[in-house]
């Protein structure tokens, strides 16, 4: 029902003039046009995001100060690396859970411990043998920016960076590990 409401809201927000014009001609025609637009919206467009509800939900779990720290493009010296990484992992796991990277890879969150910052992925693939750690590592290496706040904090905390892939069918895991020294040289 929420899906229908969100599509109705989107259609009315974008086409309110057409809908009101149709209703002025005939309420039945106006209602028919509105319903047809909702059906088309539901069939051909992804579910609209209820931004207000998303923001309210986000604010129930994070303070404005915490969000400012997570989104900052510069290092906030008032928060330690440990606190920053714990907040980042909590934010990423809460907000970004179950995000598809490609047809078989789904990012499911992040964790942090004393040794490493860990990105968690699930692979919807039965072929464990086809996973090439070296190839995966080289692809990831190209995207690492050691000047980015998140990477910089991992480096200064002395932690490694791990990309952990869990195969859904077997439960087997494969880790692509970047030592702290490797991160410094990226």
The enclosing domain of 173 has a CATH number of 3.30.300.250
Q: What was the pLDDT predicted at 153?
A: 93
Report whether pLDDT(155) > 70.
yes
Q: What is the pTM of this model?
A: 0.66
3 state SS of 80: coil
Let me know whether 17 and 79 are in one domain.
no
The whole-number pLDDT of residue 162 equals 95
126-145 pLDDT per residue, tens: 676 677 889 889 988 988 88
How much is the mean pLDDT over the chain?
Answer: 82
- Confidence band (pLDDT; 50, 70, 90) for 38? confident
In the prediction, which pLDDT does 129 show?
67
So what's the pLDDT on residue 36? 85
Tokens 């895991």 found at = 173
**Residue 31 and residue 66 in one domain:** no
CA dist 122 and 120 (Å) reads 7
Residue 177 — very low, low, confident or very high, per pLDDT cuts 50/70/90? very high
Q: CA dihedral in degrees (155, 157, 158, 162; nearest 10)? A: -70
pLDDT beyond 60 at 50: no
* Position 41 pLDDT exceeds 80: no
Count of beta carbons in the 10 Å neighbourhood of residue 120: 20
Q: Is 60 exceeded by the pLDDT of residue 105?
A: yes
Nearest to 111 by CA among 154, 72, 73, 155: 154
The pLDDT of residue 18 is above 80:
no
70-92: pLDDT as tens digits: 888 888 888 899 999 998 888 88
Same domain, 144 and 99: yes
Looking at the structure, do residues 57 and 95 belong to the same domain, yes or no?
A: yes
Query: Domain residues for 31?
Result: 2-44
Tell whether 31 and 99 lie within a shared domain.
Answer: no
């Amino acid at each position: 029902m929420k899906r229908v409401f969100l599509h109705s809201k989107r259609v009315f927000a974008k086409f309110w003039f057409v809908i009101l014009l149709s209703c002025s001609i005939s309420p039945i025609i106006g209602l028919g046009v509105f319903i047809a637009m909702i059906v088309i919206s539901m069939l051909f467009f992804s579910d609209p995001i209820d931004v207000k509800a998303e923001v309210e939900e986000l604010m129930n779990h994070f303070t404005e100060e915490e969000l400012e720290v997570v989104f900052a493009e510069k290092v906030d010296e008032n928060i330690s690396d440990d606190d920053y990484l714990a907040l980042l992992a909590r934010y990423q796991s809460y907000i970004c859970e179950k995000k598809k990277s490609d047809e078989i890879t789904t990012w499911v969150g992040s964790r942090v411990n004393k040794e490493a910052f860990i990105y968690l992925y699930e692979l919807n693939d039965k072929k464990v043998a086809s996973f090439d750690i070296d190839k995966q590592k080289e692809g990831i290496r190209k995207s690492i920016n050691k000047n980015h706040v998140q990477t910089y904090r991992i480096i200064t905390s002395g932690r490694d960076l791990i990309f952990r892939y869990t195969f859904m069918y077997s439960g087997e895991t494969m880790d692509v590990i970047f030592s702290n020294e490797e991160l410094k040289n990226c």
